[in-house]
């Protein structure tokens, strides 16, 4: 397994409210996380940071997850636990009132990847079938597209593009999407915040991920491209590629 996480403040924002990383558990399986925080003064940074730290702590002590059902159950249980932590923290600390975060997280083993998401941070899959979005945005604009009220092209420039219908920590209960995909050698996951997906086209993402560069170079190129296109938001991404054990680990 080869994996890299990278984040950048962008060219406009004063703070980076994204958090994320690649974490190994006791069996060497990877948990990739991208969380895009939101809220008042620095509250988004608190929400995404708490999310990362709690999931990191729980995953590092985990072992024995060998099936998709076990991975899906772990993600559901832990993300709901984090939701309660964030909600309680916001209610107890007035400066964090209304804080929340998106999350996209993927457990990757030698045979499958299980992906969970809330909000509009995304997961894409590059494999022999092409380059496709795995997750569905929980946003107002995506609902308008889904019900045929606007086109996908209109959605790219819609004035309410950033309105989320779900986020982690803003309500006492939350629903998430969870799905498992089978991994084959050379398959690649890209998890990212909307600071990347709002700026870089799927064609450009596919082109960079398909290149012969090292994974940290691919990540840097994607972030550089988003900044070249304006960089109005924080930009975070994780790349996870399945490879045979003999190929080593990045």
How many Å apart are CA 222 and CA 7, to the nearest integer?
Answer: 11
Share of the chain above pLDDT 90, in %: 82
Q: 64: pLDDT confidence band, cut at 50, 70 and 90?
A: very high
Kindly list the domain boundaries of the chain, sorted by start residue: 2-245
Three-state SS for 94? helix
Asked whether the beta carbons of 1 and 243 are under 8 A apart, the reply is yes
**Cα distances (angstroms) measured from residue 164 to each of 36, 48, 139, 180, 200:** 12, 16, 4, 24, 20
Q: Which CATH fold would you assign to the domain 2-245?
A: Phosphatase 2c; domain 1 (3.60.40)
pLDDT at 246 over 70: no
Residue 77 token pair: 């249980």
How many Å apart are CA 72 and CA 179, to the nearest integer?
Answer: 8
pLDDT at 247 over 70: no
Residue 160: which of 139, 176, 177 has the closest Cα?
139
Residue 244's pLDDT is what? Answer: 64
Asked whether the beta carbons of 155 and 140 are under 8 A apart, the reply is no
pLDDT at 160 over 90: no
46-50, 118-122, 180-184, 244-248: which range is least confident on average?
244-248
The mean per-residue pLDDT over the stretch 1-22 comes to 96
Residue 233: how many other CB atoms lie within 10 Å: 24
The mean per-residue pLDDT over the stretch 4-13 comes to 97
Residue 250's pLDDT is what? Answer: 47
Asked whether the beta carbons of 238 and 4 are under 8 A apart, the reply is yes
Structure confidence by residue, pLDDT tens digits, 167-217: 999 999 999 999 999 988 999 999 999 999 999 999 999 999 999 999 999
- The H-assigned helical ranges of 159-229 are 194-197, 202-209, 215-228
Residues in the chain: 250
Residue 57 token pair: 């702590």
Structure confidence by residue, pLDDT tens digits, 219-242: 999 999 999 999 999 999 999 998
């Amino acid at each position: 397994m080869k994996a890299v996480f990278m984040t950048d403040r962008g060219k406009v924002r004063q703070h980076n409210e994204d958090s994320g990383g690649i974490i190994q558990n006791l069996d060497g399986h990877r948990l990739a996380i991208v969380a895009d925080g939101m809220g008042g003064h620095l509250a988004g940074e608190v929400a995404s940071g708490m999310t990362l730290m709690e999931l990191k702590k729980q995953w590092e002590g985990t072992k024995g997850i060998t099936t998709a059902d076990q991975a899906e159950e772990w993600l559901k249980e832990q993300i709901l636990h984090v939701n309660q932590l964030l909600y309680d923290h916001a209610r107890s600390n007035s400066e964090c009132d209304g804080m929340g975060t998106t999350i996209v997280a993927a457990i990757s083993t030698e045979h499958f990847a299980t992906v969970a998401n809330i909000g509009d941070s995304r997961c894409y899959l590059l494999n022999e079938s092409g380059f496709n979005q795995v997750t569905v945005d929980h946003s107002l604009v995506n609902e308008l597209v889904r019900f045929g009220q606007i086109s996908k092209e209109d959605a790219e420039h819609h004035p309410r593009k950033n309105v989320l219908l779900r986020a982690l920590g803003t309500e006492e209960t939350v629903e998430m999407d969870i799905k498992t995909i089978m991994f084959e050698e050379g398959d690649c996951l890209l998890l990212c915040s909307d600071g990347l997906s709002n700026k870089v086209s799927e064609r450009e993402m596919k082109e960079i991920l398909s290149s012969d560069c090292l994974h940290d170079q691919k990540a840097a190129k994607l972030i550089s491209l988003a900044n070249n296109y304006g960089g109005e938001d924080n930009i975070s991404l994780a790349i996870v590629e399945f490879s045979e054990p003999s190929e080593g680990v990045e």
